[in-house]
Amino acid sequence: MPSTIRRIRRAGLRVGLQGDWYLYLLAAVIGLLMGVVATLFLGPLRKIEAVEAALDPTVIWMLVLLGPAVGGLLVGLARLWINAPYIGPGVTTVIYGVLRQRGRLRFRVGVQKWICSTLTIGSGGSAGAEGPIVTIGSVLGSSIGRLLGVNTQNMTTLLGCGAAAGIAAVFNAPIAGVLFVMEILLRDFSLRTFTPIVISAVVASASIQGILHDAAIFQIGGDFVSLEGDFRMLYMPAYIVLGLACGVIGVVFIRGLNCSSKLATALPGPVWIRPMIGGILLAVLGLASLLILGPELPPFYGNGYPEITRLLSPAEYEVSSESPSTGPLMLLLLFMLAVKLVGTCITIGSGGAGGMFAPALMMGALIGGMLGLGLEWVGLLEHGTPARFALVGMAAMVASVTHAPLTGILIVYELTQHYQIILPLMLAAVIATIVARWLCPDSIYSARLREAGIRLGNAGDLTILSRLTVQDLILEEPSTISSRSSVAALVEQAEHDTAGDFVVIDDSGEYCGMVTDNDLKAALMFREAIPLLQVSELQRTDLPFITPDETLDVVLEKFSRSDVDALPVLVDGDPHRVSGLVTRTRLIKRYQAALDHDNA
């Protein structure tokens, strides 16, 4: 254990503090820092929104036609300048970091995400601020962990603290931030992980409220919160239909984004120019919107939070002599849904940076608003309002695209803190998740991971195995034999060493294969042929080898592909020499020990 952590733990022991108590202190520090970071990140975006709201029509035309392309060019140049690993959208990169990089995210990943997402959203790209703040928070937690030299398990916990603090800060939703990390990023609900993440989320939410004195993203007006009415059995079919609709549209969104990413990858030319091409396509979409809706910012423009605020206002759905009738209003909402979906796919698919939550929230509000407006139109909605259905649609759509119903429910609930809405939120979100998983096994985050050969699997087993590496195992001393030796000498050595698996080396001592216990048993069944055989004729060269920094979930996958009891571990830095053997038995014992430790 590095000296910094050792000194901290010794100081705690002197005053009676046991275990990983220092994680609670670090979690509070991360939460406080993320409150400041979120304020600095959101400040420019809020300023841009305020300026755009006061623009005259001529400037709006120029901004819509030129802004996305210029912003896309700057994003491409920023990616080229700040060369950071890219697996997919921000949250996807963080999940990859948890599963394959032991929670070690490079600092430049956060810097690149900060700059590129500000350029994307500020220039009119259809994306949200919550995805980038999750990445920035994760990088902050990981950087603090690397600076102090914490172990792999605590590294991912600190990463989760930063991510939860980011969500809590931007949405003023600490519970949702915690559930987002536990359900999507870490997939770990153990108490030792849960406690520091809760501390970080609460501190971040409190600190940003102390700085901004209002909601970081957007506020729901008092006219919505004061609505009367509650969840009734009469409305259950309508909320089920809303969940079904959000589940289907969520799958369309996931597949549309994947299709857009593949088309962008197939484009000729350098990678850095792709965001500009996406910006040009957004300008075309914006032109269509200007021609249809008039000289106002298109519905897909930016993060969409002003539009969400309008959709949650009951006055937005009132039909009068000065407002469009119900039919044209529903067509307007349908058009907004279409351009938001297509605009987001173009923005993110072409390489723009930003989050998925904001587009999902807006699309869900549009779907719910249309359904509520239709029910009100035919006289089936007596005590509710379209705005209430818009709010429920937000939770259902987030649950659909992320396959995380708890996160969707709690984000929307904490925005309103209106308990009467919780039952329809739960029903619609669960229905949407079931439909989305049935139609598409991958969420908007895991689709790119599956292409990289990563399966998320079940939370508990995967989390424990993915946070441990081969270095956490006690390796078995390898029994070696030369490839030039006879099988008779191999049998004699096996009887003397009581070994079953042998590492085969060449004349220079380099690894060239293995003779497994099963191979040796097969040879013993034909004893008359043993004097005629050499080890090189019996050895297996098709077995995978293991490196010291690989996580145990990867090791388990290699065992599943090979019907053997042991696999060789190569020396770190020397891919031709073996340091030991990993056996199935020792792998299972280490996993069981980790389970017992978590449950202690």
Q: What is the pLDDT of residues 93-131, one digit of tens each?
A: 788 777 777 778 888 888 888 898 889 888 888 888 888
| Domain assignment present for 282 | no
What pLDDT is stored for residue 211 in this prediction?
73
Q: Which residues 6+ apart lie within 8 Å of 305 measured at CB? A: 49, 217, 218, 358
CA 152 – CA 135 distance, rounded (Å): 18
Of the candidates 164, 90, 123, the one whose C-alpha atom is nearest the C-alpha of residue 407 is: 164
Question: 131 and 78, same structural domain?
Answer: yes
Cα distance from N-terminal residue to C-terminal residue, the chain: 22
Which residue type, as a one-letter code, is found at position 206? A
**Does residue 41 contact residue 114 with C-beta atoms inside 8 Å?**
yes
Q: How confident is the model at residue 428 (pLDDT cuts 50, 70, 90)?
A: very high
Q: Are strands 566-571 and 574-583 parallel, antiparallel or unpaired?
A: antiparallel
Tokens representing residue 46 in the block: 């809020």
Range name among 20-29, 178-187, 494-503 with the lowest pLDDT average = 494-503
Question: 327 and 211, same structural domain?
Answer: no
Say which CATH number the domain at 325 has. 1.10.3080.10
Range name among 203-207, 307-311, 478-482, 582-586 with the lowest pLDDT average = 307-311
Question: 244 and 204, same structural domain?
Answer: no
Identify the domain containing residue 146 by its residue range: 3-219
Average pLDDT, the chain: 80
| Domain assignment present for 279 | no
Q: How confident is the model at residue 16 (pLDDT cuts 50, 70, 90)?
A: very low
**Does residue 366 contact residue 337 with C-beta atoms inside 8 Å?**
yes
Question: 241 and 359, same structural domain?
Answer: yes
Say which CATH number the domain at 578 has. 3.10.580.10
CA 388 – CA 201 distance, rounded (Å): 28
Q: Pick from 392, 419, 452: which residue ends a domain?
A: 452
**Does residue 314 contact residue 385 with C-beta atoms inside 8 Å?**
yes
What pLDDT is stored for residue 253 in this prediction?
94
What pLDDT is stored for residue 212 in this prediction?
63
**pLDDT: is 81 or 599 the higher one?**
81
**Does residue 28 contact residue 203 with C-beta atoms inside 8 Å?**
yes
Measured CA to CA in angstroms, residue 582 lies from 229, 509, 577 at distances of 62, 20, 15
| Domain assignment present for 463 | no
What's the DSSP call for residue 526? T
Question: 152 and 32, same structural domain?
Answer: yes
469 in helix, strand or coil? strand
What pLDDT is stored for residue 499 in this prediction?
72
Q: Which residues 6+ apart lie within 8 Å of 289 measured at CB? A: 64, 298, 299, 300, 339
445 in helix, strand or coil? coil
Q: Which residues 6+ apart lie within 8 Å of 129 measured at CB? A: 41, 42, 45, 117, 121, 170, 217, 303, 354, 355, 358
Q: Which residues 6+ apart lie within 8 Å of 380 measured at CB? A: 238
Question: 567 and 475, same structural domain?
Answer: yes
Does the predicted TM-score (pTM) go above 0.85?
no
CA 395 – CA 413 distance, rounded (Å): 8
Question: 167 and 52, same structural domain?
Answer: yes
CA 149 – CA 485 distance, rounded (Å): 46
| Domain assignment present for 429 | yes
What's the DSSP call for residue 181? I
Q: How confident is the model at residue 458 (pLDDT cuts 50, 70, 90)?
A: very low
594 in helix, strand or coil? helix
CA dihedral 566, 571, 574, 575 (to 10 degrees): 20
Question: 523 and 430, same structural domain?
Answer: no
Q: Pick from 452, 486, 512: which residue ends a domain?
A: 452
Question: 237 and 152, same structural domain?
Answer: no
| Domain assignment present for 43 | yes
Q: Pick from 203, 219, 235: which residue ends a domain?
A: 219
Which residue type, as a one-letter code, is found at position 182? M
CA 341 – CA 277 distance, rounded (Å): 18
Question: 214 and 228, same structural domain?
Answer: no
Q: To which residue do tokens 């912003």 refer?
A: 71
| Domain assignment present for 363 | yes
In terms of average pLDDT, the best of 177-186, 319-328, 361-370 is: 361-370
Question: 419 and 332, same structural domain?
Answer: yes
| Domain assignment present for 516 | yes
Of the candidates 412, 391, 342, the one whose C-alpha atom is nearest the C-alpha of residue 167 is: 412
Count structural domains, the chain.
Answer: 3
| Domain assignment present for 195 | yes
Question: 419 and 515, same structural domain?
Answer: no
